[in-house]
Structure 1
Amino acid sequence: MRAIILDSDDNYRITELDEPVPGPGEVAIRTAYAGIQWGDTMVRDGHFPVPRPFVPGFEASGHVIAVGEGVDEGRVGEPVAALTTAGAYAEVVTVPAVLALPAGSVPLRTAAGFGWSTPTAYDLVHHAARVRAGESVLIHAAAGGVGTLAAQFAKLAGAGRIVGVVGSPRRADYAARFGFDQVLLRDDFPANIGDERFDVVLDPVGGRTRQAGLQALAPHGRLVAYGNISSHEPVLADANDLLMAGKSLVTHNSNLLSRTHPDRLADSARQALELLARGRIRIDITAAYDPEELGVAVQRLSESATNGKSILRIADRLGTSS
């Protein structure tokens, strides 16, 4: 089969590899599209060290073509949206069967954009922060994949006020399409929130932004940390101070959840996928790239030069499948 590898010189190349065979509890998928996501920039830049050459790609859509031991053979031919730890930028990828989600009526192009962002946003709102009706929510990186979906899930959960924080006026205009009541610029945060306090803060940024977020919490508020986009410097929080103020600092790690409790991640993903199929949420795919353009696509993502979700065409460009 043909696949894209990330080589030791940080360049992407198309090459021929043996087609993978599903192991116990796995399925093999003929890839139609693959989602491009922030993890691609982290792997390319060495933040997640992996042996090179490496077949990247963490989100795929396509049809199941084979199943491993213990998996229902009736799944062969099923259209799926799949989450994986590698290998989606190839004609065939193997994934745990539990994380190959039946796509149903969702088009494969959209299913590729579903990716990790959608179940992550669902879990942030419903399980980590437990947003209640009438509560106020502050969402950092509001124009990103998780941010735009978290706003939609928070709105469905009955949030009373949803405020987003973004890095530029262009991204503020984009985020405003997804149900935010107000969108603020990061350079002005936290000064631009004044005395307003929030019941929930969703923070993938880290560093000073996280410290300011803790200060911006209302009594009994919850800050959920789920990344460190800007800085890996430690953020220290005194448990006694949090206790006296009635504030909580919670973390969420979807990648870890996929390894420790994949059934829980899959359950959230199925519920989010159902909302997508019913038109209750939307995924905004704004760019589709050919395999030869993957390096450009990842670079544009790392520079915040794109809005919405980017995907890679696999079946029509890398292989001959339809």
Structure 2
Amino acid sequence: MKAVVLDPDNRFTLTSLDEPVPGVGEVAVRVEYAGIQWGDVLVRGGYFPVPRPFVPGFEAAGRVVAVGEGVDPARVGQRVTALTSSGAYAEVVVAPAILALPVGDLDARTAAAFGWAAPTAWDLIHTVTRVRPGDSVLVHAALGGVGSLAAQFASAAGAGRIVGVVGDPDQADYAAKLGYDRLVSRHGFPETLGDERFDVILDPVGGPVRAAGLDHLAPHGRLVAYGAMGGAASVPIDADELLAQGRSVLTYNSHLLSRTAPERLAASAVEALRLLGDGRARIDVAAVYEPADLDAAVQRLAAGGTRGKHLVRFGGSDV
């Protein structure tokens, strides 16, 4: 089969490999599209050491072509979106059956773009911070995969005000379609917020951004840390100081959840799929690449400023 590997020279290279065989509790999926995400940047940057050569790719959409022991054979032929720990940049990928979710009539591009971002965004809003009607919400990386969906889920949950932090604040018209009331530049953060306080802050950045977020939490506010894109040192947190205002700092790790309680991640993914299927949330696919162009695609993502979801096409239609 055709696959992309991350080679010892830190390049994404198109090659040929044997098709993987599903093990116990797994399915094999013939990939139509695979999603490009920040995990690809981290793997190539060495933040997550992996043996080389390594087949990256953590999310894909396609059809189940084989099942492993313990999986219902009737799943063969089913259209799914699959969450994986590796291997999605290939014509066939193996995934846990519980995290290969039926997508019904959802088109293949949207199903691939769903990826880890959709269940993560759902959990951030509904199971971690528990956004309530009238809450004010601040979202960092606001137009990224998680941020753009989190804003929509927060809006559907009744949030009263949603502010996004982005690299390019000139995309206000686009952001308004996602539920944002205002965009602010990360280069002017936090000064442009003035004295504004938020009930919920979603922070995948860390470092000084996290420290500033703590200063902008309202009484009883909840800040959730779910990444460290900035690469800065960890921020010390004074629990007694938080206690005085009833503020909370929470964490979320979807990859860990997939290993410790995959049924919970799957349940959140089903809820996110329901909103997409009902048209109450949207995912914009901004670019589709061929496998040979993955290196350039990941570089573009790492440079920042991208909007919408980017995919790699393996077997899907190019229209």
Does TM, scored on the shorter chain, surpass 0.5? yes
Q: Residue 52 in 1 paired to residue 46 in 2?
A: no
Q: Distance in 1 between matches of 2:192 and 2:232?
A: 24
Q: Distance in 2 between matches of 1:35 and 1:101?
A: 15
* Counterpart residue number, 1:165: 165
The Cα of 1:125 is off from its aligned counterpart by 0.2
1:141-160 pair list within 5 angstroms: 141-160=141-160
The Cα of 1:15 is off from its aligned counterpart by 1.4
AA aligned opposite 2:86: A
The question of whether the paired residues in 1 share the 8 Å contact of 2:258 and 2:265 is answered with yes
What fraction of aligned residue pairs are identical, expressed as a percent? Answer: 62
* Counterpart residue number, 1:69: 69
Q: Distance in 2 between matches of 1:37 and 1:144?
A: 9
- Secondary structure at 1:286 match in 2: strand
Q: Distance in 1 between matches of 2:283 and 2:12?
A: 27
Higher mean C-alpha displacement, 219-228 vs 186-195? 186-195
The question of whether the paired residues in 2 share the 8 Å contact of 1:81 and 1:111 is answered with yes
- Secondary structure at 1:315 match in 2: coil
Unaligned runs of 5+ in 2: none
Q: Residue 89 in 1 paired to residue 89 in 2?
A: yes
- Secondary structure at 1:187 match in 2: coil
- Secondary structure at 1:122 match in 2: helix
Q: Distance in 2 between matches of 1:316 and 1:109?
A: 8
The Cα of 1:164 is off from its aligned counterpart by 0.7
- Secondary structure at 2:150 match in 1: helix
* Counterpart residue number, 2:138: 138
Higher mean C-alpha displacement, 304-313 vs 254-263? 304-313
Q: Distance in 2 between matches of 1:172 and 1:161?
A: 15
Q: Distance in 2 between matches of 1:274 and 1:283?
A: 13
Residues 230 and 243 of structure 1: is their aligned pair in 2 closer, same or farther, counting only changes over 3 Å? same
1:144-223 pair list within 5 angstroms: 144-170=144-170, 174-223=174-223
The question of whether the paired residues in 1 share the 8 Å contact of 2:172 and 2:182 is answered with no
- Secondary structure at 2:187 match in 1: helix
Q: Distance in 2 between matches of 1:69 and 1:164?
A: 45
Q: Residue 268 in 1 paired to residue 254 in 2?
A: no
- Secondary structure at 1:188 match in 2: coil
Q: Distance in 1 between matches of 2:191 and 2:43?
A: 34
* Counterpart residue number, 2:278: 278
Q: Distance in 1 between matches of 2:171 and 2:59?
A: 24
The question of whether the paired residues in 2 share the 8 Å contact of 1:174 and 1:307 is answered with no
* Counterpart residue number, 1:289: 289
The question of whether the paired residues in 1 share the 8 Å contact of 2:28 and 2:92 is answered with yes
Q: Distance in 2 between matches of 1:98 and 1:288?
A: 27
The question of whether the paired residues in 1 share the 8 Å contact of 2:167 and 2:305 is answered with no
Q: Distance in 2 between matches of 1:169 and 1:195?
A: 20
Q: Residue 303 in 1 paired to residue 303 in 2?
A: yes
C-alpha RMSD over aligned residues = 1.2
AA aligned opposite 2:50: V
The Cα of 1:33 is off from its aligned counterpart by 0.6
The question of whether the paired residues in 1 share the 8 Å contact of 2:35 and 2:113 is answered with yes
The question of whether the paired residues in 2 share the 8 Å contact of 1:222 and 1:247 is answered with yes
The Cα of 1:171 is off from its aligned counterpart by 5.1
- Secondary structure at 1:276 match in 2: helix
Q: Distance in 2 between matches of 1:191 and 1:204?
A: 19
AA aligned opposite 2:15: T
Q: Residue 101 in 1 paired to residue 118 in 2?
A: no
TM-score by length of 2: 0.97
TM-score by length of 1: 0.96
For each residue in 1:219-243, what CA deviation from the matched residue of structure 2 results, as whole angstroms up to 9, or x when unmatched?
A: 1000000011112401101111111
The question of whether the paired residues in 2 share the 8 Å contact of 1:166 and 1:172 is answered with no
